[in-house]
A = this chain, B = another copy of it.
Amino acid sequence: MRNMTEADLTEVVLERYASTPDPRLRTLLHTLIRHLHAFVREVRLTEDEWMTGIQFLTRTGQMCDDKRQEMILLSDNLGISALVNMVSAGVPEGTTESTVIGPFYVPDSPQREWGESVLLREGADRELIIHGRVLGPQGEAVPGASIEIWQTDANGMYDIQDRSQPEHNLRGWYRARKDGTFLLKTIRPTSYPIPTDGPVGELLQLSARHPFRPAHIHAMVSAPGYRQLTTHLFDSEDEYLDSDVVFAVKSSLIRTFERNESAEAAAQWGVKAPFWELRNDFVLSRDE
């Protein structure tokens, strides 16, 4: 077929991918091709605009290395990551909601002992104690679950963005006890701008959007027999809760960190008063 209309061309391309052996991949490719072609036809994309897009995506890929994932950041900023999380979540009522993983997760972070702080530098203020239980959908204790957390330091940067921080600062995983209880120690998180020195920063500038995420702690909770939970704990007092640049806030994930001025309580937890405290359970759904 050589003299094609626009609609013909899309049909020819779909037909050419019809031999894809894996049926799910075939569906993904067909649906993606139909939507991308519809986009091109609808906006009458020019060759200059196409080339700008090609170069933008190329630079986005090239910005990635073992410490930076600009392609995830792009997906996050177009609301795609939040939507994928929404369509694929499907957790039962009563279990903890998930949200996006974001570009700053690092595998193989170190284990922290019961109540050990993930803050690896001196001069902690705004210390935060998080204690609670990992539970299953029937309220049963999940023994020995892994609770991994990561967050920025007070300057709004993750360890992998900031050479002045020790490796694995504010990053690590804890093992829950047999009764599902855990005790984490960190600092109260802060709102921060996503990295704006790459293609995604250009996009934000061109679209006159602010780059801020509301203060949050990332958490990934897993245990055999349960579905892995990737979520955030958001600070209820943050000014960006309604305009998160990556669209990841869910009401059920907003937490109030309680201020505690008791020197006695501080001594009990091994922190300085005043400190912040959160009682929080993670409720997992069963793996199917």
Contacts and interface: CB of A to CB of B under 8 A. Distances in A.
Interface of A: 1-4, 6, 9-10, 12-13, 16-17, 19-22, 25-29, 31-33, 35-47, 49-50, 54, 57-62, 64, 69, 71-72, 75, 78-88, 101, 206-209, 241-243, 247, 249-252, 254
Given A1-B242, A16-B79, A58-B69, 12 more contacts: A2-B254, A3-B252, A6-B83, A12-B247, A19-B207, A28-B43, A35-B38, A37-B83, A41-B83, A45-B88, A47-B84, A50-B81
A156 B45 CA distance: 31
B71 A57 contact: yes
Contacts of A250: 2-3
Copies of this chain held together in the complex:
2
A79 B41 CA distance: 12
A31 B11 CA distance: 21
Interface of A is mostly: helix
Contacts of A82: 9
A230 to B, nearest CB: 8
Contact of A2 (B54, B59, B251): B251
A21 B16 CA distance: 40
Contact of A40 (B25, B44, B87): B87
A41 B49 CA distance: 26
Contacts of A59: 61
A9 B247 contact: yes
Contacts of A40: 80, 83-84, 87
A6 B84 CA distance: 9
B54 A75 contact: yes
Given A37-B80, A45-B88, A251-B2, A61 B71 contact: yes
Please give me the 3 A-B residue pairs with the lowest Cβ-Cβ distance, nearest first. A61-B61, A13-B79, A20-B207
B2 A249 contact: yes
A229 to B, nearest CB: 12
Nearest to A101: B47
Contacts of A6: 83, 86-87
A238 to B, nearest CB: 12
Contacts of A25: 206-207
A80 to B, nearest CB: 6
A164 to B, nearest CB: 27
Given A62-B62, A207-B20, A41 B78 contact: no
A39 to B, nearest CB: 4
